[in-house]
Amino acid sequence: MSDISALSYDYRYAYKKENQTDTLEADADVFLKVFLRHEPRHAAVLKARFMDIHESYLSQEAGFIVGTLSLAALKEIASEQDLPCSFVLVGLEEGRDFYSEVADLTELGALT
């Protein structure tokens, strides 16, 4: 009922967070442990972006990498449309407290 009343007065709803541009300042300083699934033809390109690889597997149909990379590198991978892949955050790099810096990983668009 209130929506109908608002429309009669030309009221427009404001979405305050829509134009908010909060970004993480220290993307290169945040290191994540990630499980990354990819197509076999992209294995070499993706492995080069990891600082440390704990485990990897490659077959004719798919491959995966478990390792450490920076948040900045993960954002680059997620934004490149010619590198179709999916990833899961396994954890944060041990010995560092990045919980306050890694505020919202969903903004990457790849965590579903």
Q: Write the burial class of residue 96 (CB in 10 Å: 0-12 exposed, 13-18 middle, 19+ buried).
A: exposed
- pLDDT tens digit string along 23-78? 555 666 789 999 999 999 999 999 999 999 999 999 999 999 999 998 889 999 98
List the one residue out of 110, 98, 100 whose CA is nearest residue 35. Answer: 110
- pLDDT tens digit string along 80-102? 888 888 999 988 875 444 443 44
Q: How many CB atoms lie within 10 A of CB 18?
A: 6
Q: pTM score, two decimals?
A: 0.61
| Domains of the chain listed by start with CATH number | 22-108 (3.30.70)
Q: Coil, helix or strand for 4? A: helix
